[in-house]
Amino acid sequence: LNPNEDTEWNDILRAQGILPPKEPKPEEIDPNDLLPTREEILEQSNLDELDELLEDDDRRVLEKYRQKRIAEMQALARKEKYGNLITIDETNFVQEVTEASKECAVVVYMCRDSVPQCRIVTEHMKKLAERFKATKFVKYDMRAYPDRNFPTLLIYQDGQLKDQLV
């Protein structure tokens, strides 16, 4: 009979005090326990080593911030893909306006060059398109539209007309 065996019978004998208590198992060594903690490193470091640790921390923080900013700038660059006033006609209206508005807002500027107010508004629309590059600005001359209604703005988003200004 081996008193160190881990059996049910030995457990009963230990409970009755017949066998001595089981010897504790040597604890498994965790590799992380062998590494000094941050506090221990700080306590054992001299001033130069502390400066180096701070510089390493600063570098890590700055690198993390840099990566975050790069990701933000790349996302913005993907969105800002327009930047000018695009002329469209009836043949590509659905593709350029309705379909494109599922990705971003689309401003449809309905005008006719023969209408004096349209010439003034066209210059402002070009400036807006340059400034808001994530929004698609299109210029559209609808032949059946009466001159008195020009200029007109239509705002499309999510494939639908959201607002109109006549």
pLDDT tens column, 81-115: 899 999 999 999 999 999 999 999 999 999 998 99
pTM for this entry: 0.58
- Closest-CA residue to 112 (of 135, 79, 146): 146
Check whether residue 36 and residue 90 sit in a common domain.
no
What single-letter amino acid sits at 1?
A: L
Could you report the per-residue pLDDT of 120-162, keeping only the tens digit for each? 999 999 999 999 999 999 999 988 899 999 999 999 999 999 9
State the pLDDT confidence band at 78, using cuts at 50, 70 and 90: confident
pLDDT at 25: 66
How far, in Å, CA of 48 to CA of 127, rounded? 56
pLDDT at 54: 79
What is the CATH classification number for the domain harbouring 105? 3.40.30.10
Could you report the per-residue pLDDT of 18-32, keeping only the tens digit for each? 888 877 666 656 666
Is 130 inside a domain boundary? Answer: yes
106-110 and 136-140 beta bridge pairing: parallel
Could you report the per-residue pLDDT of 39-56, keeping only the tens digit for each? 777 777 777 887 887 788
Check whether residue 150 and residue 91 sit in a common domain.
yes
Is 20 inside a domain boundary? Answer: no
Query: Domain span at residue 155?
Result: 85-165
Is 4 inside a domain boundary? Answer: no
Check whether residue 61 and residue 108 sit in a common domain.
no
Strand order in the sheet with 85-88: 85-88, 136-140, 106-110, 152-157, 160-165
Using the CB atoms, write b or e for 26-62: b if 16+ within 10 Å: eeeeeeeeeeeeeeeeeeeeeeeeeeeeeeeeeeeee
Check whether residue 101 and residue 131 sit in a common domain.
yes
* Helix residue spans in the chain (DSSP H): 8-15, 31-34, 38-44, 47-79, 93, 116-131
Check whether residue 63 and residue 105 sit in a common domain.
no
Is 34 inside a domain boundary? Answer: yes
Q: How many CB atoms lie within 10 A of CB 106?
A: 25
Check whether residue 128 and residue 59 sit in a common domain.
no
Return the biggest CA–CA distance within the chain.
112
DSSP for 75-103 reads HHHHH----SEEEE-GGGHIIIIIIGGGT
Residues 6+ away with beta carbon under 8 Å from 45 = 53
| Encoded tokens for 150 | 């020009």
Is 121 inside a domain boundary? Answer: yes
61: pLDDT strictly greater than 70: yes
Is 32 inside a domain boundary? Answer: yes
Mean pLDDT, residues 1-21 taken together: 83
Is 9 inside a domain boundary? Answer: no
150, 157 Cβ separation under 8 angstroms: no
Report the domain count for the chain: 2
Is 96 inside a domain boundary? Answer: yes
